[in-house]
Amino acid sequence: MSEAANRKQVSSEGMKKLEEKLAYLTGPRRAEVAEKLNIARGYGDLSENAEYDAAKNEQALLEAEIMELEATIRNVEVVDNIVTSNDAVSLGSRVQIHFEEDNEDDTYVIVGALESDPLHNRISNESPLGAALLGKAKGDTAAVEPPSGEIYHVTVLDISRDD
């Protein structure tokens, strides 16, 4: 498998959010944790100082989160929504679908895994539903196989973009 195939996809907007979070963690958040460490050092004997231990643990967790976020940013593929065609579902598409078994309609935006937010109908292109919809055109029906194994069917009613 190629290196590009292993990369998670993210929109320009998603990349901006990742970079903003990294800037916050390496700036104000790191300074806040350093201040907690300084205050805790003032409490005396470090071997019996619970505040110092807690601050050191918080610092270790913060540094781990920063390293993970930096690795994520290095290993994502930014996919811009430059394609304005609404002929087929792709990353960035807003898709109105009909759930055949439930006879209900809903609308989802297909996003990269790092940007998914199911509570706001932003589903990953790697999720069972997102993957089943990719490449489908208006009027197409897709079979979706979730981890539960109970296959369900959806029909694409409309495809648009937020551009």
Q: Could you tell me the residue range of the domain that residue 100 belongs to? A: 93-161
Same domain, 69 and 12: yes
Write out the two tokens for 1. 């498998």
Residue 126 inside a domain? The answer is yes
Q: Please report the pLDDT score of residue 108 as a whole number.
A: 96
Same domain, 72 and 97: no
Residue 101 inside a domain? The answer is yes
Same domain, 98 and 62: no
- Model confidence at 2: pLDDT above 50: no
Q: What is the CATH number of the domain that holds 60?
A: 1.10.287.180
Same domain, 13 and 41: yes
Predicted model pTM: 0.67
CA separation, residue 69 to residues 58, 96, 116, 127 (Å) = 16, 33, 16, 22
Residue 49 inside a domain? The answer is yes
Q: Please report the pLDDT score of residue 122 as a whole number.
A: 93
φ, ψ dihedrals at 99, nearest 5°: -85, 110
At 131, the pLDDT band (50, 70, 90 cuts) reads: very high
Q: Please report the pLDDT score of residue 71 as a whole number.
A: 92
